[in-house]
Amino acid sequence: MFGSLGMPELIVIFIIALIIFGPRKLPELGRSLGKSLAEFKKASNELRSTLEDEIRLEEQRSQLETQKAAAQTTVQPPAAATMPRQDEPIGKHSA
């Protein structure tokens, strides 16, 4: 039911809470505890979804950078265009 807590343990906890807080405060305490747990669950779900979104965006950025790097390596000018012609002496490039 609640992890490793069985029914006898829950009854003991309920009796102790009844003695400490009294029968009038116990329903109010239960409602506030339920609201707190619901808010915590909602916040943890929002955090998880935010983290998943950030991870997905980071993966998309890395894929885009990889694609850009691949595109740059295939578009580079040929090496022969920057080397001097063979009939020219080295050091005397025409402008």
CATH entry, 1-59, from 1.10.3470, 1.10.405, 1.20.5, 2.40.50: 1.20.5
Check residue 18 and give its pLDDT: 87
Work out the pLDDT band at 71, boundaries 50, 70, 90: confident
Number of H helices, E strands in the chain: 1, 0
pLDDT tens track for 4-62: 878 889 889 889 988 988 888 888 988 998 999 999 999 999 999 999 999 999 999 99
Q: Is the pLDDT of residue 78 over 90?
A: no
Using CA atoms, how far apart are residues 56 and 68, in angstroms rounded to an integer? 18
Hey, where are the domains in the chain?
1-59
Q: What is the pLDDT of residue 61?
A: 95
Contact 29, 21 (CB under 8 A): yes
pLDDT, position 57:
95
